[in-house]
Structure 1
Amino acid sequence: MFTQQIGEFLPVNRNNRSDREFFHFTFEAIKKHKTMGRMKTMQHVLFLLPVFLLSSCFTNRIAYKQMESIRRGMSAEEVIAILGEPSYRSFNDKGEMLEFREAEYGTSKVVKVWFVDEKAVEMKSYLDRYDNGCTDRKKAGEDDEKEGEKKSSGKSGKAKVRLTTDGKHVLQTGSIIVTPDGKHETVVMDAGGVIITASGKHIHVVP
């Protein structure tokens, strides 16, 4: 009988005790080597699994220099080229909003960019500390719904003005204004010269 060890064929006499012991030792060594190989493979899988799950929660890093590069009038393609692929997208008959998230759980840097007529008109960045476990955005949706109800009910009560990075004064979303015909309207977006209200009106402001 022949057995193979490290690439060589060796004769084995089953009637010889030393040959039987050698054959048994060789077989056990090969078996142990295969078992250890499978254990190492399993250890590698268990080590990489949480790394993979953690990396799947992240999208892309957002630096201040990237946000500083965003300008009014940019197209969605230009904004995406700077900030990376958006995590979420919303739109209606008034415009479009792209949401860029640094991560999908825990404390995450978030950048929202609004577009009207396919041009960037507003940007907002903040830290989101809501832990959604990479799966559930129900709480965020409920918060947005409550905020929308508050705005539509007119609880803000007055117009709020903020200063943009290019030195312009614009109305904040949710501000209540009185139109020239005497009606109270909720501001959805101030595009710097054109105010869009919740009822869909476009009010042109003369500087």
Structure 2
Amino acid sequence: MVVRENFENNLQELQNKMTEMNELTIAAFEKAFSAFKAQDVELALKVMEEDTVIDNLENEINQFVVWLMVKEQPVARDLRRIIGALKISSDIERIADFAVNIAKSTIKIGQINSLLNITNLEQMKEVSINMLNMAVTSFIDENIMLAKEVAELDDQVDNYYSETYKSITGYLREHPEETNQLVQLLFINRYLERTADHITNIAESAAYLIKGRIYDFNT
């Protein structure tokens, strides 16, 4: 019983690290989008600098997983939980990278008249943050319904992506002098769409833990 209790404590520590990484990533995403909306270059630079903390935490999780697998040699559900945490930390790190990419685009746009109002980028960000919280919670609480809801929200982001792409490219044809900003908005549109895809991957990892079979929510 003591051995199992120690193992459960290690699993809890792994989960805590993953939760911390998720919270840092959400904070980075919110900060990056705030910089984008306010055209705040200094804040954008801060997002880029702070990304190292998230990268280091992912490395820490990777090392902890290797140690845990060698030490405990987990099987069945325990193994699925550990592998799931490893995959999820990788997806969260990629999402944090997209926050950095948004910060970089903010710097490239600079302080000019913003064309954010012709896009659905803010709506996409809000849905994505909600999705990320739901996806990680679905894994921690082993809630399959939450995982499926994440997949449904991904369709909403995809629709926003298509609408925004059409809006930006249509505006570009009429206003070629705005090419620099519009290209960056297209990049941000893509970053947000890819963010939602990675969050859907997290939901798939949760579903695999719960049901023991592979789901593909991105189709």
Q: Which TM-score band (shorter chain)?
A: 0.3 to 0.5
Instruction: Identify which of structures 1 and 2 has the higher relative contact order when contacts are C-alpha pairs closer than 8 Å and 6+ apart.
Output: 2
- Find the structure with the greater CA-based Rg: 1
For normalisation by structure 2, the TM-score amounts to 0.33
More helix by share: 2
Q: Give the alignment's TM-score, normalised by structure 1.
A: 0.34
